[in-house]
Structures are given as structure tokens and as C-alpha cells.
A and B are shown apart, each in its own frame.
Chain A
């Protein structure tokens, strides 16, 4: 991307951010093409549409939403796997969206990604030792011996035996592979780890092992996590604060207990209702009002509030005006014309 910072954020843009991580008016568009040979661009999908948020050091921020809401794209933008169409990503005082070449590579050490699918994200032809070592080789850190001892130390930290070094990924179960993925993410001693659906592919009894391991490592390494998941109960368990996304927009952000106790956005409420809880009395007494219909096309999102086509509270104004983010309490914001709580001010 060669375009300069967008005009819409011109004023703010001149101010560097003091937050640990701050996203400002982040937008990511993907072209939609048609035709197998002569690919014509027939439109764009705004996967992320004007998202701003900041994350403090040592915090765990959870991003939750359904497929296609843009949560994974935000994760990939933060670690630099995608470049934003516009907007800024401030990390420890520099806009990493604008870094290039050597500077970018150096900065990237601090930002690592833990992938969703432990079956697809590890190279099946590499020994586990080399998988964990690879980031050190790429960044040219340490000699062979130093790298070896680092690999051993990492394996121990994630609870795997040093014997794993000479084995291949297929010799491990899903949970163990996710530990390998976590070890690799930790290799360069990052400050921030984006964990994209870290436990979705795992069985229930293995999930809690990995979540507890992530919490333990966060304490010992002072890590900051961005946890991305479709599962609100996982996100709530791991996170200090939760952001709810819908069709590329951040619709509500609040401390994780708050978002469950006092959701302001009807979509958040709908998500909470939709999650089946392992408690028959609760489940059967729930007043189930499913969110109607299906996700609209991201190429042609609804005008005004994007959730209005499925919202039980929608009225005329929702089609005309996009609701602004308003404050509903300390660190609690939501974008809705007819929220479930009383707003205290415009954020």
C-alpha cells in the first residue's frame, strides 16, 4: 500500500498514540472479482470498516462475532499479515501499518500470531524442533547451540517433552499441536500474541488445558493477548475486555463481566441468548428469541445500522443513520439507536 494516511483521520493522525496498541479508523477492503481468466473487479468487501480501539499492556482483549464479521482480518492486520486500506495501527508509539522492510521485520518480533487449526498451521514435513526454531533462523538470532537451548526451554514451558524436537506434527494430538503453535508464537519473546480461535478445533477436556496454559504464560511473560473467537464463553473466560463485531463494525466494547451482565446492543444480547449453557434449568427457562434471518451480504451491507435487518428493536431511523458509539459506563461503549441500557454520554 502506498497511499498516505486518510484525510478523514487527518487531525488525529498527526498525534502519535501513547497507548500500547491502538487501532485508529482501521479499514480493510478486499476486491471481489469475477471471471476465471480475465478477472474483473466487480466490487469490494469492507471486511473491517472504521474500527478504532486501544489495548493496554498486559491486558487480554477479546474479539467476538460470527463468521464474516472481520475479527480474523483485524488480527491479521495487527500482526502485519495484511496491510490496511486506510487507518493506523499504533504499537508502542509507532504506526506499524506504515513500517517497511527491515524496520517492519524487526517490529514484527513483538507481534505474533497463534493460529486456529493446529492441523493445518504446522508444516507436516518439518520436525517440531525446527518449527519452533524457524523464527530465530529467519530473524538471525543466536547460534545453533543457543537456538537449541531456547527450543528446549520453550517446549518445557508449554508442557511438552524435549523428545518432541525430533518428531513430526502428525505424531501429536490436536491439543499438543496447539501447544507447539503456542511455543512457536513465543519463540521471539513477543509482547503481544494474537490468538485466532485458539481452542475451537479442540475437544472440551483439552480446551481448558490450553486456556489455563495461555493464562499461565501471560503471567510469566507479561504478555498482551488479542483473543479472537466466535465463542463468547471462551472469550469471556480469557479476556479482561470484550469487543463484539458485526459485519465489519465494532458494535459494543465492555469489560467482560459487564458485557454479559448489562449488554447494551441487541446483537450482543442475541449472541448471549444463543449460546447454549450446560445447565438444563437455565436453558429451559430462557426466553429464547432467536435473532431472525441470516447475515446480509458484506458487499452490499444494509444502510444505517448494519444489524437492523435482523434486529427486533429496529425502527426507521436505523435505516437512515448509522448509530454512533455512545458510553454506557466506565469503558463500556456501544453503537445503537435503541440500546438496552441508558447511555451516559456520547463517546
Chain B
């Protein structure tokens, strides 16, 4: 059975005044029906651009330079704007990070939610509003009927994110792209929203691409994980396996640099030296090599491709770390 979403060799570049940024450079991944795929990495690693390439909502100057994106067997790359509009919000929907700025402040939430329903489902205004109230109820909005007339500024951050989710779900998409859905929220609200997303995913049998920088969110919610660094996938594995026996030095270093509540805090944290690369001039060959403590000459002469003992667990590294072989070095001050 083919996967719901198949991305193959995706290259998304952004043209700028001086050259271009290789935001996504040869990413291949798939999502099965009903599965949650976590995409994790730091700012500028290309995780958001990967999601936005699926939606074809790219920033000015952004374009898909190569590769293919197949949703349910249908190629999305090269679709006209009109054809894409039928996919967007209907088969794939997205929740953005910031519910403060991604809702329209001049429209009440009933109008915002029903807009998509009317476009995709050819129903009357009244039926669309009924649907809006129904999805608001689904996302746990108290008094959904009365809330239809509210404007975004009348709602708290958590409720606004519920409205975003309701809007995304209004046409029952097969795939939901959740781009940092809880980063702007307080932790107690974050937990409420993550629980809500999980229960809705189960009920609607929807696949989720969960894009986040937070390894904790990934650990609790993703079935499989793709770790991205500088526009490339450096490691992919089922969640438990990734956390137990990560092989890429970047994954290991990232995990070692997170302070954990359950650990005693006296030990110094590992810290990755240097900065992520500038993607208009990425380092040749392995892109993590300038910051990697295991880098050898080969890493500067050849590009590591994704390999691994099993097709489920793949990593792009010539000198993979074994279980627990990465020890925090002396605390670095710079």
C-alpha cells in the first residue's frame, strides 16, 4: 500500500537578492494513513519549509526546485494555483504556530471557519455555520453557538488555537500539518491542546505531520521521527528507537543539550559548539561536520547518505555514535 504522503528528493529554494537559500535540499519522507510523523530540528533547518512545500504556501522568492510530493498518489508539484486551492484546506490542512497573527482580526470566527467549508463543500451559508459550530464543539470550545459571533481578540491564546484547529478540521482533511502548534502557548495550555490533537487524530483517523523544535513534544506524540539539520534529514527512526539508540551525532548532541526535569542538575550540559550554517553557502558534504566532534577527513570529501541496518532506522553519518557513546565534553564557554 502506498503511503498517504510521499515526498521524494524535495528541493525548496528561496531566491534572495544575493544568491539563494537552499532551505530544503533533497528531503524524502513518507506518512502513512493515521500516523503522526514528527519533524524536529532547530530554526532554519527546513522543517517548516518542508511542510509549507506540501501546502505550496512558500514565502516570496520561494520555489520548489526539484523532487516530487505525492498525496494519495496524486502529484502536487506542478499543480496550477486553481488545482492546488482544491487540495489546500480540503485534503491537507495546516495549523500555524501563532494563533495571535494567523486569524483574521476583522472577521468573526464563524465566518472564518465557514469560509473554507463553503468553498470546498458547496453548501449554504447556514449549513456552513452549522458545520462551524459542530467543529467548534469538537475542539472543546464552550458554548460554540454563541462563540461564532466572537472576534479573535475576544479569545485567549488557547481558545484561538482551538479555533485554528477547528478551521483546519472543518473539511476533514486526510493530513494535518501542525507547525509548532503549541510553541506560543503556556505549558498547561500546551498539554490541553496536544491532548486535544491526539484525541481528534484518533477519532478522525487523520495523519499528522508534527513540526516542532521540542524533543519533549516529539517523545510523547510522534510515531516516527525525522531529524532535520541544515535542509537535510540526518536521521529517521521510530520514536522509541530514536531516543534509545540514536546514531547521528547531531541527534545525540541535541538530546544531550536539553536540561531534563528528571535529572539532577549538577552535571554540566553538553553544548554543541558553533552555529548552524548559513544556507545560502552551506558547508560542502556533511553539513554538520564543522560542529561535529567525530568528524573525519571523509566527512569533508564525501556526502553521507541515509543508511542503516533496517529501513526503519536510517542515518546520514560516516561515524555514527553507538548507544550512549556521546559523553558531554567539558562545559564550553564559547
A interacts with B: yes
Q: Which residues of A contact B (CB under 8 A)?
A: 66-67, 158-160, 173, 175-176, 203-209, 211-213, 215-216, 230-234, 236-238, 256-257, 260, 270-284, 286, 288, 290-291, 294-295, 310
- Decide: B158 and A159 in contact? CB cutoff 8 A: no
Cβ of B19 within 8 Å of any chain A Cβ, yes or no, is no
Of A209, A212, A273, the contact of B191 (CB 8 Å cutoff): A273
Return 30 A-B CB contacts under 8 Å, by A number.
Answer: A175-B275, A203-B43, A203-B276, A204-B213, A204-B215, A205-B272, A208-B270, A211-B259, A212-B332, A215-B268, A230-B186, A230-B187, A231-B187, A232-B261, A236-B261, A256-B265, A257-B265, A272-B261, A273-B191, A274-B187, A276-B194, A279-B243, A279-B262, A280-B243, A281-B240, A284-B220, A290-B195, A294-B156, A294-B189, A310-B188
**A273-B191, A277-B261 known; A203 vs B217 contact (CB < 8 Å):** no
Pairs A-B, 6 closest by C-beta atoms? A159-B334, A276-B216, A283-B220, A237-B259, A278-B215, A208-B257
Per the bound structure, the CA–CA distance linking A203 and B42 in Å amounts to 6
Of A215, A236, A279, A280, the contact of B331 (CB 8 Å cutoff): A215
Of B187, B216, B268, B271, the contact of A271 (CB 8 Å cutoff): B187
Distance in angstroms from A201 CB to nearest chain B CB is: 10
Instruction: List chain A residues, Cβ under 8 A from B239.
Output: 280
- Decide: B254 and A204 in contact? CB cutoff 8 A: yes
Closest to A173 in B: B275
Within 8 A of A (CB), among B191-242: 191-192, 194-195, 213-220, 239-240
**A208-B271, A256-B265 known; A279 vs B333 contact (CB < 8 Å):** no
- Decide: A283 and B216 in contact? CB cutoff 8 A: yes
Per the bound structure, the CA–CA distance linking A173 and B42 in Å amounts to 13
Instruction: List chain B residues, Cβ under 8 A from A260.
Output: 261-262
**A67-B186, A280-B219, A284-B220 known; A209 vs B243 contact (CB < 8 Å):** no
Distance in angstroms from A156 CB to nearest chain B CB is: 9
Distance in angstroms from B276 CB to nearest chain A CB is: 7
- Decide: B190 and A279 in contact? CB cutoff 8 A: no
Closest to A175 in B: B275
Per the bound structure, the CA–CA distance linking A284 and B43 in Å amounts to 27
Cβ of B269 within 8 Å of any chain A Cβ, yes or no, is yes
**A274-B190, A276-B214, A279-B243 known; A212 vs B271 contact (CB < 8 Å):** yes
How many chain B residues touch A (CB < 8 A): the figure is: 48
Max chain B C-beta neighbours (<10 A), residue from A215, A273, A277, A282: A277
Instruction: List chain B residues, Cβ under 8 A from A67.
Output: 186
- Decide: B195 and A204 in contact? CB cutoff 8 A: no
Of A173, A208, A216, A271, the contact of B188 (CB 8 Å cutoff): A271
Instruction: List chain A residues, Cβ under 8 A from B253.
Output: 205
Closest to A234 in B: B259
Distance in angstroms from A307 CB to nearest chain B CB is: 11
- Decide: A277 and B188 in contact? CB cutoff 8 A: no
Distance in angstroms from B42 CB to nearest chain A CB is: 4
Distance in angstroms from A253 CB to nearest chain B CB is: 17
Instruction: List chain A residues, Cβ under 8 A from B216.
Output: 275-278, 283
Q: Which residues of B contact A (CB under 8 A)?
A: 42-43, 156, 158-159, 186-192, 194-195, 213-220, 239-240, 243, 253-255, 257-262, 264-265, 268-273, 275-276, 331-334
Closest to B217 in A: A276
**A260-B262, A271-B187 known; A212 vs B269 contact (CB < 8 Å):** yes
Of A204, A215, A257, A291, the contact of B42 (CB 8 Å cutoff): A204
**A159-B333, A274-B187 known; A205 vs B259 contact (CB < 8 Å):** no
Distance in angstroms from B323 CB to nearest chain A CB is: 15
Instruction: List chain A residues, Cβ under 8 A from B213.
Output: 203-204
Distance in angstroms from B40 CB to nearest chain A CB is: 10
Per the bound structure, the CA–CA distance linking A204 and B297 in Å amounts to 28
Closest to B189 in A: A294
Closest to B155 in A: A294
Distance in angstroms from A59 CB to nearest chain B CB is: 14
Instruction: List chain A residues, Cβ under 8 A from B334.
Output: 158-160, 209, 213
Closest to B257 in A: A208
- Decide: A277 and B219 in contact? CB cutoff 8 A: yes
Per the bound structure, the CA–CA distance linking A209 and B272 in Å amounts to 7
Instruction: List chain A residues, Cβ under 8 A from B188.
Output: 66, 270-271, 274, 290-291, 310
- Decide: B240 and A275 in contact? CB cutoff 8 A: no
Instruction: List chain B residues, Cβ under 8 A from A176.
Output: 275
Closest to A283 in B: B220
Per the bound structure, the CA–CA distance linking A244 and B260 in Å amounts to 18
- Decide: B220 and A209 in contact? CB cutoff 8 A: no
Per the bound structure, the CA–CA distance linking A160 and B333 in Å amounts to 10
Closest to B215 in A: A278
Distance in angstroms from B332 CB to nearest chain A CB is: 7
Instruction: List chain B residues, Cβ under 8 A from A276.
Output: 190-191, 194, 214, 216-217, 219-220
Distance in angstroms from A269 CB to nearest chain B CB is: 11
Distance in angstroms from A311 CB to nearest chain B CB is: 12
- Decide: B264 and A282 in contact? CB cutoff 8 A: no
**A270-B188, A271-B187 known; A207 vs B261 contact (CB < 8 Å):** no
